[in-house]
Amino acid sequence: MLDIQTRIATLKRPPLLARAARFGVDDYRRNVHLPRLLKGERLPRHGQAIMQLLELEAELDGQRVTHSGGYSPARHVDTLIAILGEAQLMRATTPYIA
């Protein structure tokens, strides 16, 4: 099984979605965005949040690929922003071991 950073690095999405997520990551606020995306009151740890977000993103990408009527590009971008934001926060709070 791939580690979290590798899973994020290997995500291949259309350039427009990826670019929009990169532009939005600076405005990511964990306490605002995560409860809305994950439908929960308690904030999970970064790793757990990323895993849940990756599952949600996979569902959204499936909807995108199949041209589902319920697909929301805005929700997809919000989810990608949250994945990138959580990854940044996790890297910033995880001690480096050489």
pLDDT (tens place) for every residue of the chain, 98 residues total = 457 777 877 788 999 999 999 999 999 999 999 999 998 878 999 989 999 999 999 999 999 999 999 999 999 999 999 999 999 998 888 776 55
Q: What is the pTM of this model?
A: 0.88
22 falls within a domain = yes
Residue 39 lies in a domain: yes
Q: Is residue 82 part of a domain?
A: yes
In a domain, 5, yes or no: no
Name the residue among 56, 63, 62 with its Cα closest to residue 82: 56
Could you tell me if residue 85 is inside a domain? Answer: yes
- SS3 category, 8: helix
**Do the domain assignments include residue 2?**
no
Q: What is the per-residue pLDDT for 8?
A: 79
pLDDT for res 1: 43
Q: Note whether residue 68 is domain-resident.
A: yes
**Contacts for 73-79 with beta carbons within 8 Å, 24 or more apart?**
73/17, 75/37, 76/17, 77/17, 77/20, 77/21, 77/24, 78/24, 78/33, 78/36, 78/37, 79/37, 79/53
Looking at the structure of the chain, the number of domains it has is 1
